Amino acid sequence: MNKFDNRPERDIIYLYEDNDIVAVSKPAWLLSVPGRGKDKMDSVAYRVQQKYADARTVHRLDWATSGVMIMALNARAHRHLNKQFADRQTQKRYIAVVGGIVEKEEQCIALPLRCDWENRPRQIVDWEQGKPSQTHVSVDSRDTDKRQTRLILRPVTGRSHQLRVHCQQIGHAIIGDQLYAPPVWRDISPRLLLHAEWLQVRQPSTGELIEFFDQSPF
């Protein structure tokens, strides 16, 4: 069981704003979009819409994940950005700290994932009904004293909990993961050590590549 307080550690931080896009730094334990019920209204989308009433969601981060998240500020930008994500034209980089020492310097994880309906929101590997998912993994550093490895994760697809399940499946669950990590790694951090550090998209009006960076807090 989680023994920590799962409330947002801070407010969102604005990283970038133009006529089409707003980029923010999302804290851990803040929903990307409102959930069901008034108690789940608070979210990145809700907070951004207090400043930009027409802001629209184009992608999401897990509740427990921190990092870069963007929203569209008009209908045209929303369509353009949605297509970029759907066509996998965006580039993303995450930082994760996992339990154990990862030996391979680089690897590509490709597994079919689907929701575990009896244990939602958990995702599982299903070779018959799962949807394809792929992540490029490289080692950033190893801490042999703590028996932990810092990884750079570059997802090709964007399945729910993809990075968390992929790390679990190679035997190195992300530290602080309340769904997928064994207690020895789950209970040593007050938060999930997964951070969306960098995102690259094309600006909807100009077509220029623009990058958003949010330094990992761990």
For residue 166, the tally of other CB atoms under 10 A from its CB is 27
**DSSP string computed for 134-201:** EEEEEEEEEETTTTEEEEEEEESS--TTHHHHHHHHTT-PBTT-TTTS-HHHHTT-SS--EEEEEEEE
Choosing from 20, 62, 177, 214, which is the catalytic residue?
Answer: 62
Distance CA 211, CA 199 (A): 6
**Length of the chain (residues):** 218
Distance CA 74, CA 205 (A): 11
Q: Is 39 a catalytic residue?
A: no
Distance CA 39, CA 92 (A): 31
**Is 1 in a helix, a strand, or coil?**
coil
Please identify every residue annotated as catalytic. 62
